[in-house]
């Protein structure tokens, strides 16, 4: 008894496709298996040639927060740290190497963005919740004149009251920003102007703005730390 042939069934019917694979005999069954194997190879090759993310594009999208969170200088041994930064602890960096790194990384200072006082003042008055208050003030002014006949002094009073609230809110925001800026300036005053740095095997007093990654800095009791440092050696009881 030969196996049933169901070639007349539509290919779009999933059950018919299953029956065809199950009951087909002879060369047809072999053909189905070969097709399945070919499909598997194509899927495997497609996974292998799947495009990967461009490392340069990924590096360009990396934020400063991600960069600092992945720093592991504090976990490395001294030899590994010096190897990564390409520096000799005994001799320090050379002047040429320090100049190259300074040009590449920039000065050892916190950024000071230029303040646009006109833009900031407009933001205090019209930004945030003040924009909603301005809409309310305009509505009350319109209800006072020309919508009210005769004009309603109550609507005028409410409009003036909202304006007072707007300017009080703007003044409070300005005071907060001024207080924050004052605190930041106080922190900047704590940073030293000069530091003892080893360059070309000699200990030199250099401006802290010229410090670069890999500089060997010498500190003693009472000195202010000029940058983010990793202690590689110490002497004495402190």
HEC sequence for the chain: CCCCCCCCCCCCCHHHHHHHHHHCCCHHHHHHHHHHHHHHHHHHHHHHCCCCCCHHHHHHHCCHHHHHHCCCHHHCCHHHHHHHHCCECCCEECHHHHHHHHHHHCCCCCCCCCCCHHHHHHHHHHCCCHHHHHHHHHHHHHHHCCCCCCCCHHHHHHHHHHHHHHHHHHHHHHHHHHHHHHHHHHHHHCCCCEEEEEECCEEEEEEHHHCCCCCEEECCCCCCCCCCCCCCCCCCCC
pLDDT at 132: 93
Write out the chain's pLDDT in tens, 238 residues: 444 444 444 444 544 444 444 444 444 444 444 444 443 434 333 333 344 445 544 444 456 566 666 777 788 888 888 998 999 988 999 999 999 999 998 998 877 778 888 999 999 999 989 999 999 999 999 998 888 778 888 999 999 999 999 999 999 999 999 999 888 888 777 778 899 999 999 999 999 999 999 999 999 888 888 988 888 888 875 5
What pLDDT, on the 0 to 100 scale, is given for residue 115?
82
């Amino acid at each position: 008894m030969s196996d049933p042939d169901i070639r007349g069934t539509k290919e779009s019917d999933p059950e018919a496709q299953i029956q065809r694979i199950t009951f087909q005999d002879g060369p047809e069954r072999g053909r189905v298996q070969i097709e399945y194997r070919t499909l598997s190879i194509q899927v495997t090759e497609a996974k292998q040639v799947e495009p990967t993310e461009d490392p340069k594009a990924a590096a360009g999208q990396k934020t400063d927060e991600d960069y600092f969170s992945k720093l592991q200088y504090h976990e490395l041994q001294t030899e590994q740290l010096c190897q990564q930064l390409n520096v000799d602890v005994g001799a320090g960096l050379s002047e040429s190497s320090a100049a190259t790194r300074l040009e590449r990384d920039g000065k050892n200072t916190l950024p000071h963005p230029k303040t646009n006082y006109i833009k900031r003042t407009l933001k205090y008055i019209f930004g945030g919740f003040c924009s909603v208050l301005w809409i309310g003030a305009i509505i009350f002014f319109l209800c006072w004149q020309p919508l009210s006949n005769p004009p309603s002094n109550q609507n005028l009073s409410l409009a003036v009251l909202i304006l007072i609230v707007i300017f009080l809110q703007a003044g409070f925001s300005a005071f907060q920003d001024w207080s924050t800026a004052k605190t930041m300036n106080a922190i900047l005053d704590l940073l030293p102007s000069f530091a003892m740095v080893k360059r070309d095997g000699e200990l030199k007093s250099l401006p802290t703005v010229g410090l670069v990654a890999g500089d060997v800095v010498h500190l003693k009791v009472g000195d202010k730390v000029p940058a983010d440092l990793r202690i590689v050696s110490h002497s004495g009881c402190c």
